[in-house]
Amino acid sequence: MDIILFGMQGSGKGTQGKILEEKYHLKVFEMGGQLREMIASGTPLGDKIKEIVNAGNLVDDDTVLQVVGEFVDTLQSDQPILFDGIPRTVAQSDKLLNLLSTKGRDAFAVLIKITEDEAINRLTQRRVCESCKGVYPPSYKSEECQHCGGKLVVRQDDTPDSIKRRLENYRKETIPVIDGFYDRDHLIEVDGEQEIDKVSKEMIEKVDYLFN
């Protein structure tokens, strides 16, 4: 069973995704990282993506699905995948699920759920490492990254107006995708407004049956 991880910006889904990855030995497909890898590969598909990006355009769904298809084809059929950053729209979701189905796979959605007010509160207070780009919540009091020792700063795009625009896009484009998984009874919701370890505990309790 593959997992599609959803969560509003600030929900902590990056942290929880790593926990899922490690516990269930998932292979992670992270949209942004995968596109960068493809561009660096020098393959015809990578060159096509590079041309699209350099022109300042968004990578179209059909090309994105080509990337997903090539990724899936490198794995054993019983190797579960964790998708992060895809699908973002209903059309993309339909195409992704159809692709997975043709390869004998199915996907369950896991939603780390927080309110918009909580997202804004977290995003305006979080800091990122200048060096490794690690993200730290307000509860982390040090001025240095615990991984590389880099300086922690507030992201320039973490302003209230910018955050509200991102949340509006999430509401318009991604919430309908999540609703689709709910309608199919393929959605697990986790309360993301708890302490991090409690979020992890609830998530594992609810997800575990998919892998056992």
* CATH code, domain carrying 14: 3.40.50.300
Taking residue 41's Cβ as centre, other Cβ atoms within 10 Å add up to 14
Look up residue 143 and give its two tokens.
């001025």
Query: Which residues have CB under 8 Å from 199's CB, separation 6+?
Result: 12, 16, 112, 190, 191, 192
Q: Is residue 61 part of a domain?
A: yes
What value, to the nearest 5°, has the Cα angle with vertex 90 and ends 13 and 174?
35
Distance CA 2, CA 31 (A): 15
Question: Could you list the residue range(s) of the whole structural domain that residue 8 is in?
Answer: 2-114+163-211
pLDDT of residue 140: 84
- Residue 124 inside a domain? The answer is no
pLDDT of residue 33: 87
The answer to whether residue 198 sits within a structural domain is yes
Quick check: bond before 160 cis, omega within 30? Answer: no
Residue 18 confidence (pLDDT): 93
Identify the burial level of 115 via C-beta atoms within 10 angstroms of its C-beta, where 0-12 means exposed, 13-18 middle and 19 or more buried: exposed
* Residue 60 belongs to a domain: yes
Name the domain count of the chain.
1
- At residue 204, the pLDDT reads 97
Q: What pLDDT score was predicted for residue 81? A: 98
Give every residue of the chain whose pLDDT is below 50, as ranges.
none
143 within some domain: no
Q: Does 26 fall in a domain?
A: yes
Residue 59 lies inside a defined structural domain of this protein: yes
User: Which pLDDT does position 157 carry in this prediction?
Assistant: 72
User: Is 130 part of a structural domain of the chain?
Assistant: no
At 100-141, the pLDDT tens digits run: 999 999 999 999 999 999 998 888 888 888 888 888 887 788
